[in-house]
């Protein structure tokens, strides 16, 4: 089985990291292909960039010319998942939803710890639309920008661990979802400090995508995610569809 | 005062119609500038096309090189409003929200009548995120495609009037929002048949935008709609920002 | 166009202040007529007084013997709007709802800052019924009584500004609605201190009323706000209806 | 123990009927005093009349010059309960809430059957504010006006029974609340036809008021229902407070 | 009238205390019979123990061989009420719901103060399912275990009073529900310290059960609480049903 | 990896069927062990039986004397999952939640088709508590009893397919969850008739349990699902814990 894992930003090192993380979570026999959009922002931290990413991810997936069995959109709180679901029959899994859905099997309430404060409403909105917000205790920001996770990993770990601990103590979270890129040590440190299970969205999404494929389940095409109707698309990377 | 009214699709005749409708609702002294995206779908009827429109509308607004006081995104149930709000300080008004917000001053519950059934969940989602769904009695589809509103106006009017009547009778709607492009006769016919006020989103949005401008109110920049952080944007129509 | 702006209490200086505030927000050609109820409390700060005001406002409007195009009920969190809507065809706008509805176009979440703590549940209830509570971050009390806004303006401004700042910092409000009478300097000071847009309910209501009139929209009469059925009304100021 | 049961309209025969109904439900030793407002509508079927009733009921209670232990507001879906709670320390029970609260001990979902369709939104709003709507399956109108319950009792019974049956069959109600004045035969007929428990609001309110009194529980005075602050009340029946 | 009050745990001294408390609240002529389950935990402080209690309580009630008119399940936040409702026609009242339902007649918001933090989510879940959570300001834990209420009464009172005061001050509760066994002095101390009405669940449940019986109301049998269908039950205390 | 799949009723043929179904969905290397409770009802169709099952399932799991990696509770809408989570560290997956969680990745709204109408409120309540109800279009009953699925398979298939089709057409479901035991042909027939993806709860639960195990995720022990505190448990199958 081949799963496309699409980064939402154009930073190749991040794509590489996500691919490694995904492959680690994958079952034997699952091939992970990590894609980077041709255009868009080097990091996605708001609505403008997220809308670019929505189209950039669709473009990246439609240009991929080999068969694949599922797609993972690897951005926390981003737009675009519904568009992919219209374009494809194979399952599309968003890591924000994958993490929340997984966390809900592990504790009564979960919290998300993310990067900048400005990303919080985007994540809250995504969880609300997905109907996965009822057991969300809080979405907390570490104050670290996406790229700082790479450039200042120690400070980032500390800031994230601190918010995770606050979520458990103050917001009664029983599970933490990491709403930001994967540093290998992050999961372990958060778990050690808080004593609660820690869910990484990319890993969760990989197992969900694999499960859907193995069960032969595909996106429903009867209404919301029916294929786009044939029509004229003008001057756009995706025109060729 | 100058208000940009941006069509979400690339059909110029529609842009023209929207512009006329907007100007009719505008106060003396308000100049309406109707814009068409350079790229995207000729009609927007789903998530894929709506995400293209989100970027197409941002591109059209950013390329406009004259001063303006407010922007109206003239698509029902479409993505993208939050992106524009990040890019601009002037008010941004979405017609879906403008219509709902206006309808709520006129009756206890309102319904939306739109084009195809597949657009219903998009509109429901937009109203939910906007927190304007609590008094929405229903979103109903007429079964007419966007372009058929122009090519088969009589059949379209009939289908829309029928759904509006059903909304009043069965769903207890007391106001009808027209979730589709403006035919001059539509408002009148729906009002005559149902006996309830009929809100056109474009007209409602114009008066709201004018009001915000006159009150000196601008988009809040402290959190969700703060300007995008300076960063590298790759290979995209909007790169020049 | 003539708009009646009805104070909910019997303090004439407040009526005057509200009238000035309304006229300032009005478009050229709009005549504001500010009315004071013949009976009721000198300030409205609770349910008993608010129910008196509901009837006092209806009485004041029904006794007004000139034509008018819209009515604004100028009390924050008060009862009575639905009664006016039954009695009139012209639009009726409540300033609590006008402020909230306007704020929602400017930021992701808004807060209301009002007078006494006991008024908070009334405002919360009004927003809930109006279906405008989903994006309300908080309703906060300054601890100042209504009449103290006039007698101790400096202390009032300080107390209100402080709660507005707390709403932005702690509750993540991106817009502030002023749930109390208008001091000219209040808006400016709150904006300066918090950096967020500030919505005054009276001003917002004026532009909304004007917009509804200009669009030819009236209160729906098919169900909730149908005219009262003809019947015997005993011994009441409003008997003459 | 003495309980005041206050009719919301000025029709004495209705007051008498409500008093009889209340006394039947009362425990030995409970004295029921049925009061009629001095002013207001002969029947309350909408917001205008309901706001008059709110003040009329407060007036009637405040003019009653003997001691009493609790007050019941005997109108379905009416305004005013919160005002009474401010004015009094003894418990105040609204029959809309009493019926719903009682029904929730008897079945998973309940429905209300009331008089005219226009009363439905008022009842829905009252249940929503009271936080008793989550298990409300529906509020249905029989189409009978309040006074027709007295003048056309047979037709009224038939119409109400029919809606009750529809609530059980179509809306999955397991309990019926009678949202209209008490005809002796109504309860029995609805029970026979539907096979579900039938709750009369007046009877339910009597037992709840008695219980609160016996347990020594009074209205909380710390915030929402604190006594009105001392202030000037102008030219109103209630001035003498 | 005879009411069974069933302890959820196997500690006889607690059963005795609950019985005394219930009898004190009962009307003259009401006989309280306090039952202890034959099996289960000496104190119930979590889901495992609560599920045992659900069956233990059903067993205790079914083995009781005299007639009775109502059943009270005297555990805060426990499972099992719905099972009893299927097995019986007489009313079944859960003290968690009785307390909340009663509190809602006394103030705008109520809080629950309970024993251990781990019990909080159980109580929250029970209130949510019962549709009585909309006006719940908070559920707070005193940190005292169930049995410590008996062994360390002074410390328990202090801890509970402290949380009650915090609920009033911080969470805007206007009424306190005691979510733990009754010490005579507890109610009084909480009332003195907070100035708000205090509801004891057992007492509230007794008056509600009495009221339902007096009104001739029984559990609805049309759907959710229909009697169990006849079938083979294997090797269980309750087999004999 | 070894996963225990526990039937909620005592019918061995059903346990066998569930085991086969689970094994079919399992990855290579996953051993499915299907358990039957020692006591309880031959079929579970209501709260009384479901509470017995809650304890029966806990008993069956605690008596199993080999190591295992996860537990699946294979009953639709049943009580008990939270108790297992307290007793175990390994993941516990309820099939009602597994199916809903899976369906939400495949379409905008899902419906559940179950056995008897009386099971509908139980399933609705379970989904509500799990916070998975926001995108549930409906829970529909086929009218077939649990054991009739085995004795009248053809009629059962027909009844279930019919309700699934109604859910898609009338309730706008885009995915169907089968809330009843697995007949091999059921999934296929529902898919053929409705054109939407069909989720079997047991299969979904197996893949979720496998995923949690593979990711090293266990039940959070900090609050709701902390191990039962050491205490005296009297006279119960589970005493030996």
Query: Which CATH number do you get for residue A230?
Result: 3.40.50.12500
Same domain? A121 vs A187 = yes
Q: How far is C88 from C84, CA to CA, in rounded Å?
A: 6
CA separation, residue E4 to residues E1, E206, E210 (Å): 10, 10, 11
| Burial state string for C177-201 with b = 16 or more CB within 10 A and e = fewer than 16 | bbbbbbbeebbebbbebbebbbbbb
D228 touches chain B (CB under 8 A): no
Q: Tell me which of B149-158, E31-40, E230-239 is least confident.
A: E230-239
Residue in A38, A128, A238 nearest the CB of B235: A38
Same domain? F106 vs F84 = no
The pLDDT tens digits for B213-235 are 999 999 999 999 999 999 999 87
Same domain? E52 vs E24 = yes
Q: Quick one: average pLDDT of B96-110? A: 98
At F183 the pLDDT is 65
Residues 13-72 of chain D whose Cβ lies under 8 A from any Cβ of chain E: 25, 27
Same domain? A87 vs A131 = no
Same domain? F109 vs F49 = no
User: Percent of chain F scored above 90 by pLDDT?
Assistant: 88
Tokens of D187: 């309860």
At F31 the pLDDT is 98
Same domain? B78 vs B57 = yes
CA-nearest residue to B174 within chain C is C220
Same domain? F81 vs F152 = no
- Quote the minimal CA–CA distance from B215 to chain D in Å: 33
Residues of C in contact with D228 (CB under 8 A): 41, 45-46, 48-49
pLDDT band at D181 (very low <50, low <70, confident <90, very high): low
Same domain? E109 vs E69 = no
E121 touches chain A (CB under 8 A): yes
User: Percent of chain B scored above 90 by pLDDT?
Assistant: 88
B160 has a pLDDT exceeding 50? yes
Residues of A in contact with F211 (CB under 8 A): 102, 204, 207-208, 210-211
The pLDDT tens digits for F77-103 are 999 999 999 999 999 999 999 999 999
User: Percent of chain C scored above 90 by pLDDT?
Assistant: 88
> Taking a C-beta distance cutoff of 8 angstroms, is the pair F118, F145 a contact?
no
Tokens of C225: 């706000």
| Burial state string for C98-112 with b = 16 or more CB within 10 A and e = fewer than 16 | bbbbbbbbbbbbbbb
pLDDT band at D180 (very low <50, low <70, confident <90, very high): confident
CA-nearest residue to A174 within chain F is F220
Query: Do the domain assignments include residue B219?
Result: no
The pLDDT tens digits for C55-96 are 999 999 999 999 999 999 999 999 999 999 999 999 999 999
Tokens of D115: 């008089």
Which of F236, F145, F113 has its CA nearest to residue E228? F145
Average pLDDT taken over every residue of chain E: 94
> Taking a C-beta distance cutoff of 8 angstroms, is the pair E91, D107 a contact?
no
Residues of C in contact with E172 (CB under 8 A): 120
The pLDDT tens digits for D98-143 are 999 999 999 999 999 999 999 999 999 999 999 999 999 999 999 9
Residue in B82, B118, B145 nearest the CB of A224: B118
> Taking a C-beta distance cutoff of 8 angstroms, is the pair E161, E193 a contact?
yes
In sequence order, which ranges of F6-117 are alpha helices (DSSP H)?
A: 12-25, 47-63, 81-87, 95-103
Q: How far is F31 from F2, CA to CA, in rounded Å?
A: 5
Of the two residues E9 and B240, the one the predictor is more confident about is E9
CA-nearest residue to C222 within chain D is D118
At E238 the pLDDT is 60
Q: Quick one: average pLDDT of D51-64? A: 96
pLDDT band at F146 (very low <50, low <70, confident <90, very high): confident
C227 touches chain E (CB under 8 A): no
Same domain? B104 vs B58 = no
The pLDDT tens digits for E168-207 are 999 999 999 998 766 667 899 999 999 999 999 999 999 9
Q: Quick one: average pLDDT of B71-90? A: 97
Same domain? E67 vs E121 = no
Residues of C in contact with B219 (CB under 8 A): 106-107, 197
Residue in C105, C131, C208 nearest the CB of B134: C131
β-sheet bridge partners, residue D136: D110
SS3 assignment, position A137: strand
At B147 the pLDDT is 87
CA-nearest residue to B121 within chain F is F108
Q: How far is B62 from A52, CA to CA, in rounded Å?
A: 14
Q: Specify the DSSP element, H or E, that contains C212.
A: helix C201-214
Q: How many CB pairs under 8 A join B and C?
A: 143
Average pLDDT taken over every residue of chain C: 94
The pLDDT tens digits for C171-191 are 999 999 998 766 667 889 999
Tokens of C111: 């807060």
At A184 the pLDDT is 62
pLDDT band at D182 (very low <50, low <70, confident <90, very high): low
Q: Are B223 and A129 inside 8 Å of each other by CB? A: no
Query: Do the domain assignments include residue B225?
Result: no
Collect all residues with Cβ–Cβ distance below 8 Å to B173 and sequence separation of at least 6: B107, B109, B110, B111, B137, B138, B167, B196
Same domain? E6 vs E80 = yes
Q: Is D185 exposed, middle or buried (0-12, 13-18, 19+ CB in 10 A)?
A: exposed
Interface predicted TM-score (ipTM): 0.96
Judged by 3 or more CB pairs under 8 A, whether B touches E is: no
Q: Are C47 and D117 inside 8 Å of each other by CB? A: no
At F72 the pLDDT is 98
Residue in D105, D212, D223 nearest the CB of E105: D212
At A241 the pLDDT is 42
| Burial state string for D59-72 with b = 16 or more CB within 10 A and e = fewer than 16 | bbbbeeeeebbbbb
Tokens of A162: 């601190």
Q: How many CB pairs under 8 A join A and E?
A: 3
Tens of pLDDT along chain A (241 residues)?
999 999 999 999 999 999 999 999 999 999 999 999 999 999 999 999 999 999 999 999 999 999 999 999 999 999 999 999 999 999 999 999 999 999 999 999 999 999 999 999 999 999 999 999 999 999 999 999 988 888 888 899 999 999 999 999 999 999 999 987 666 678 999 999 999 999 999 999 999 999 999 999 999 999 999 999 999 998 777 654 4
Q: How many domains does chain E have?
A: 2
Q: Quick one: average pLDDT of E146-164? A: 91
- Quote the minimal CA–CA distance from A161 to chain E in Å: 23
Q: How many CB pairs under 8 A join E and F?
A: 137
Q: Quick one: average pLDDT of B50-76? A: 97
Reduced DSSP (H G I as helix, E B as strand, rest coil) percent helix, strand, coil of chain C, to 5? 45, 15, 35
SS3 assignment, position D31: strand
Residue in A106, A131, A215 nearest the CB of F25: A215
Residues 148-207 of chain E whose Cβ lies under 8 A from any Cβ of chain C: 172
Same domain? D146 vs D214 = no
pLDDT band at E241 (very low <50, low <70, confident <90, very high): very low
F70 has a pLDDT exceeding 50? yes
CA-nearest residue to E109 within chain C is C121
Q: Are A10 and B225 inside 8 Å of each other by CB? A: no
Residues of A in contact with C108 (CB under 8 A): 121
At D241 the pLDDT is 41
Which of C61, C37, C40 has its CA nearest to residue C52? C40
Residue numbers of the domain that contains A223: 2-95+203-240
Q: How far is E114 from E121, CA to CA, in rounded Å?
A: 11
Collect all residues with Cβ–Cβ distance below 8 Å to A137 and sequence separation of at least 6: A109, A110, A111, A167, A171, A172, A173
C240 has a pLDDT exceeding 50? no
Q: Quick one: average pLDDT of B144-149? A: 88
């Amino acid at each position: 089985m081949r799963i496309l894992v699409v980064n939402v930003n154009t930073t190749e090192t991040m794509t590489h990291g996500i691919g490694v993380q995904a492959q680690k979570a994958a079952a034997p026999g699952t091939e992970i292909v990590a894609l980077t959009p041709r255009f868009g922002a080097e990091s996605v931290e708001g609505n403008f960039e997220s809308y670019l990413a929505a189209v950039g991810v669709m473009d990246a997936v439609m240009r991929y010319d080999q068969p694949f069995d599922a797609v993972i959109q690897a951005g926390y709180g981003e737009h675009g998942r519904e568009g992919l679901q219209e374009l494809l029959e194979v399952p599309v899994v968003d890591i924000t939803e994958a993490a929340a859905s997984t966390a809900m099997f592990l504790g009564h309430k979960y919290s998300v710890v993310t990067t900048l404060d400005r990303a919080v409403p985007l994540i809250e909105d995504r969880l609300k639309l997905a109907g996965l917000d009822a057991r969300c205790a809080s979405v907390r920001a570490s104050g670290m920008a996406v790229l700082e996770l790479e450039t200042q990993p120690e400070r980032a770990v500390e800031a994230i661990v601190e918010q995770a601990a606050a979520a458990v103590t103050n917001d009664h979270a029983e599970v933490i979802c990491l709403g930001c890129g994967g540093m290998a040590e992050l999961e372990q440190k958060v778990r050690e400090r808080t004593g609660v299970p820690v869910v990484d969205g990319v890993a969760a999404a990989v197992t969900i995508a694999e499960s859907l494929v193995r069960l032969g389940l595909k996106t429903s095409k009867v209404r919301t995610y029916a294929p786009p109707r044939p029509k004229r698309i003008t001057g756009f990377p995706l025109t060729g569809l």
